Structure 1
Amino acid sequence: MPIRPENRWLYPIDWQQLSDTIRFDRAGARCEQCARPHLRFVAHLGDGRWWDADAGYWRSDRGRRIAVRGQGRERFDMAAVRTTYVVLACAHLDHDPGHNLPGNLAALCQRCHMLHDAAEHRWQRWWNVFRLCALRDLYEDPRLTRERLARHHLSA
């Protein structure tokens, strides 16, 4: 994931080299959570199960070999199969960009990274709404109703 400019100072100056070491040397260009390969299109079922073309079988969202129901006599719906282009990122497991020890870093595909950061994203979304509401409370006249506010903006 790209680093926001306001957070860039939290990362070490050699972050790119550190990230490359984790993603390619340690993880072998595969997600350390689900084993999806870097910079490849992967067929998946949307629930974490994906087709490993190199190995020739389906894997779970944890990278384990699985048998997909309906693969035998009955076929699963091919419309359910989608493709995703996989890009690995180096993630901080404790969400602290200042903690850059190898044990705290993991090479994750975008799906695993989003799942890992879900709570952090929910908090950030709440914080943004809270901040915008607070700014509105500071600078808008609380006596204005929505209708009066709309008329005010239309006449201006």
Structure 2
Amino acid sequence: MPIRREHRFFYPIDWPQLSAVIRFRRAGGCCEGCGRPHGQSIYCLDDGRWWDASVGTWRDAGGRSLREPPVIEELAAMRLTKVVLATAHRDHDTTNNADANLAALCQRCHMLHDRPEHKRRRWATLFRRKALGDLFRGPYVK
């Protein structure tokens, strides 16, 4: 996940190297949340289940092997996606770069991990837009 320009000063200067160590040396190129392999295209369903081609089994959103495969109707919603690992801060504090605070997560796991922060930012953005609309254009209209 790219770092916004206004947030770059929160990260250390050697962040790319630190991130690479976490993603590829410690995590072995797999998501620490669900086990998806970096750089590979995988088949996945909307609820997080995915096909692990290296083992030949379906896995759930947590990376555990499923006892029963999805039914035919569910496979119609299957999509192909490329996995890209990113390094996430577990406590959302970008100044805390301790090894235990960093995790290698795929796009899905990273978005789920950051969901509360995204909701907070969305609220702040909508609140700011409403305030600016009230100030300059009259009542806010969706």
The equivalent position to 1:97 in structure 2, one of 90, 94, 111, is 94
> Hey, what does 2:77 align to over in structure 1?
80
2-side partners of 1:25 and 1:59: how far apart?
Answer: 23
| SS of structure 2 residue aligned to 1:126 | helix
| SS of structure 1 residue aligned to 2:104 | strand
The equivalent position to 1:121 in structure 2, one of 114, 118, 122, is 118
2-side partners of 1:68 and 1:85: how far apart?
Answer: 24
Count of paired positions: 140
1-side partners of 2:102 and 2:34: how far apart?
Answer: 15
Percent sequence identity over aligned pairs: 56
> Hey, what does 2:52 align to over in structure 1?
52
| SS of structure 2 residue aligned to 1:18 | helix
Contact 1:57 1:66 in 2 (8 A): yes
2-side partners of 1:4 and 1:117: how far apart?
Answer: 15
- The structure having more radius of gyration, on CA atoms, is 1
1:112 and 2:109 aligned: yes
Q: 2:45 is aligned with what amino acid?
A: L
> Hey, what does 1:35 align to over in structure 2?
35
> Hey, what does 1:20 align to over in structure 2?
20
Q: TM-score, length-normalised on structure 1?
A: 0.83
Residues 56-88 of structure 1 show CA distances to partners (whole Å, capped at 9, x for unaligned) of 111111111112345xxxx52331221111100
Q: TM-score, length-normalised on structure 2?
A: 0.91
Q: Which runs of 5+ in 2 are unaligned?
A: none
Residues 96-118 of structure 1 show CA distances to partners (whole Å, capped at 9, x for unaligned) of 11111111110000000001111
My pick for the range that moved more, 14-23 or 38-47, is: 38-47
Q: 1:59 is aligned with what amino acid?
A: R
> Hey, what does 2:127 align to over in structure 1?
130
Q: Could you say what the CA RMSD is over the residues aligned between the two structures, in angstroms?
A: 1.8
Equivalences for 1:135-150 in 2 at 5 Å?
Answer: 135-140=132-137
Contact 2:33 2:62 in 1 (8 A): yes
